[in-house]
Amino acid sequence: MIETYWILAVLTVALVIAVITDLSTHRIPNWLTLSLVAVALACQFAVGQWQGLLVGLGGASVGLSCFLPLHIFGAMGAGDVKLMTAVGAILGPQAAFVGVLATVVFGGGIALIFIGWRGGLRALWRRYRQMAVMIAYRQPVYLAPATNEAAGERFPYALAIACGSFFSLWYLT
């Protein structure tokens, strides 16, 4: 049980650092994500030996495989992918998958708040309404946001990852 609290403390400290640096610099440092992967896998091995290590590797694989396509298509930064991979190594496969799903939901909510704060909800609504009409006429097409539209700006995603990760821990316990 003590091992669980120690791992939770490491996760909390790492996510707080990630959120603060992402909010201030729009980057998540490699030293944080890579050291978190190493610590997570070491902790998983210490708690469950080889089976624990496989749990950690499975969780890291879930985080990586779910977020890497988003990075490849330009919807997410590499630091976010590495952070979710590291968090997955701590959570294990099942909790990492729930964490990914919750992160996407929290990310959507945070994005709406971000866009609303920047005054871009009306433009977003118009764009999506236009796409819905096109879908109704069987001409589906994605209309990218204008260069000056708030929906086209990137926002720090570490906060969504932190919210999704802690939701996963709460939900599965």
Asked whether the predicted pLDDT for residue 85 surpasses 90, the reply is: yes
Model pLDDT, residue 164: 97
Q: Are 33 and 78 in contact (CB under 8 A)?
A: no
- The answer to pTM > 0.75 is yes
For residue 101, how many other CB atoms are within 10 A of its CB? 15
Q: What is the pLDDT of residue 150?
A: 73
> What are residue 74's phi and psi, to 5 degrees?
80, 15
pLDDT of residue 151: 67
**How many whole angstroms separate alpha carbon 44 and alpha carbon 80?**
22
The pLDDT score that the predictor gives to residue 144 is: 74
Q: What is the mean pLDDT of residues 135-150?
A: 77
More confident residue, 149 or 78: 78
Q: Encoding tokens for residue 62?
A: 């879930």
> 106 falls in which pLDDT band (50, 70, 90)?
very high
- Residue 2: per-residue pLDDT: 44
Higher pLDDT, 40 or 155: 40
Residues belonging to the chain: 173
Buried b (16+ CB within 10 A) or exposed e, 65-83: ebbbebbeeeebbebbbbb
Q: What is the pLDDT of residues 1-56, one digit of tens each?
A: 345 677 888 899 999 999 999 999 999 999 999 999 999 999 888 888 999 899 99
CB 19 within 8 Å of CB 158: yes
pLDDT in tens, 62-72: 999 999 998 99
Q: Closest Cα to residue 128, out of 148, 109, 143?
A: 143
Which two structure tokens, joined as six digits, stand for 106? 């929290």
- How many separate domains does the chain show? 1
Q: Which candidate, 105, 104, 115, places its Cα nearest to that of 150?
A: 115
Quick one: which of 172, 173, 164 has its CA closest to 15? Answer: 164
The answer to whether residues 17 and 30 touch, using CB atoms and an 8 Å cutoff, is no
Calculate what percentage of the chain has a pLDDT beyond 70: 96
- Look up the domain containing 61 and give its range: 2-101
Whole-angstrom CA distances from 15 to 57, 89, 169 are 19, 14, 14
- Structure tokens that stand for 69 in this block: 């396509």
pLDDT in tens, 120-129: 888 888 888 8
Does a structural domain hold residue 59? yes
